[in-house]
Amino acid sequence: MTDLLHLNWGLLAPELTIVIIATVITVADLVMNDKGDRRVFGWISVIGIIIAIYFTVNQLNNPNGVEYLLNNTYRVDSFGSLFKLIFLVGTGLVFIMAINYIDKKEIKYDGEMYYLLLTALLGAMMMASSADLITLYIGLELLSISSYIMAGMKKNNLKSNEAAYKYVIIGGVSSAIFLYGASYIYGLTGTSNIIEMASRLPNAYHGDYKFYVYLGSFMMLVGLAYKISVVPNYMWAPDVYEGAPTPITAFLSVISKAAGFAIITRIFVTLFVPLVIAVDPKTNQQMTFFSHELALYLAVIAALTMIVGNTMALRQTNVKRLLALSSVAQAGYILVPLATLTVVSVNNIIFYLMAYLLMNIGVFTVVTIVNKDAGTEDIRSFAGLYHRSPLLGVAMTFFLMSLAGLPITAGFIGKFNIFVGALIEDAYWLAGVMLLTSVISYFYYFNIVRQMYMRPGHTEAPLRVAYSLQLVILLTFLGTVLIGLLPNVALDFIANNLNINDMFNLGITK
């Protein structure tokens, strides 16, 4: 008890802010009558997220560098803080998007969505800062269980029920695979602390336990691949994205995916980059387990994910299923920097996730507006959109251009940096797959553009857009274009605030 009182709770300020807001909203939802307007919970959550962003930005300028909490199980470092900013900004935009989406006929208990989004956000933040497999898994399950419930919030909708059921089953199996693989690494090292594991793993590898290192790392990778929906664990995405409420789909496609990349990067870079398995006799350079063994598997998974995601999206007519497969393909692009790990690879991952956050939430906001107006999720619901709302049509065009990786958009800069990184590491075949699949993606992205500009709509009446949705579209549009035109602002921010050595530094215990 004395240790808890002397703990530096200020380091947990972002997480505690979210916990307090979630608790307040939960209690308020219980005491409010059924006819009460619960949209106020969304605005309260946005205010709480802004406060948490303030605390997180302050932690980026921490002069002490890395600091540990709770018996070295939780760490505050630059890597975790940058990912937390992505989670907070993305969830804040989802909240604003959700405020005018919820229909009592579809979601009877709408207050649940607000505090479940907060608990899912808290889980993602825990994943980014965990230094121990136990706390990391707690964060993973907090995010997952909240997401399972939100995916099935449209209780009278069969597709929503199916989405939640599939999500729970596949999520449970994937968690079990991850835990089984982690148990091998734990057994070999005798600790669950990731950095202590990294220091003890070489003795296990060179002590006749190579097979178990391979088996453990492979199973952990397969289990976590589900979180980012890459091949072969991507098949749940189209059904879940289609059945879930659209704001929740946006959350899953951005925040949940970013959390998956945070945990994969944290575990595999920290554990396996320091693990030297041999010395190249020709160059006298050390060969690590990551570069010599894992990199090839990651490259193959990235290539297959880009190919499968983009080719399967060509046949989709449901826009949410199309965007689900687009999200699968995007995960493949983000995996490329890990497969070709360089000094700036983590920078490129964070930059692309920032760009992806803006363009994907922008797309799903427009999808929310159009589908609700047309009463269908078919791609033809976009017919004539530009003529009904020119500004909405132009914004959607730029979002799709960014997803496709075309110039003057944030997505172009993100893909270009990843492409150049692959070339520098002589991964020409992987760079070629990136180019080929990007060209394939033009066909289904511009099919939506064609509907907006070249097809007559079901009505010519102007499309009315709620002010909160206009705000989300404006912010994401400006971010997508400005980062595309002035990329150094974001790139310098990441470079100045990310110290990759923090991932291996034991830091200061608090």
Return the domain boundaries, the chain: 9-504
- Output the pLDDT for position 63: 65
Half-sphere exposure of 494 (CA within 13 A, CB side): 23
Q: What is the pLDDT of residue 4?
A: 58
What's this model's pTM, rounded to 2 decimal places?
0.94
Strands 74-76 and 508-509: unpaired
Give which of 304, 299, 292 is closest to 338, Cα–Cα.
299
Instruction: Count the neighbouring beta carbons within 10 Å of the beta carbon of residue 176.
Output: 12
Percent of the chain that is helix, strand, coil (3-state, to 5): 75, 5, 20
Element housing 74 (H / E): strand 74-76
At 337 the pLDDT is 93
Write the CA distances from 325 to 114, 253, 400, integer angstroms.
27, 10, 14
Assign residue 229 a region (left: φ > 0; alpha: ψ between -120 and 50; beta: otherwise): left
Write down the pLDDT at residue 304: 95
SS3 call for 130: strand
Regions in the chain scoring below 70 on pLDDT: 1-7, 63-64, 103-106, 504-510
Q: Could you give the C-alpha distances from 460 to 389, 447, 492, in angstroms and in order? A: 10, 20, 45
pLDDT of amino acid 506: 58
193 - beta bridge partners? 132
Tell me, what's the pLDDT at 233? 84
- Cα 379 to chain centroid distance, Å, stands at 25
pLDDT at 220: 93
Helices (H) and strands (E) in the chain, counts: 22, 5
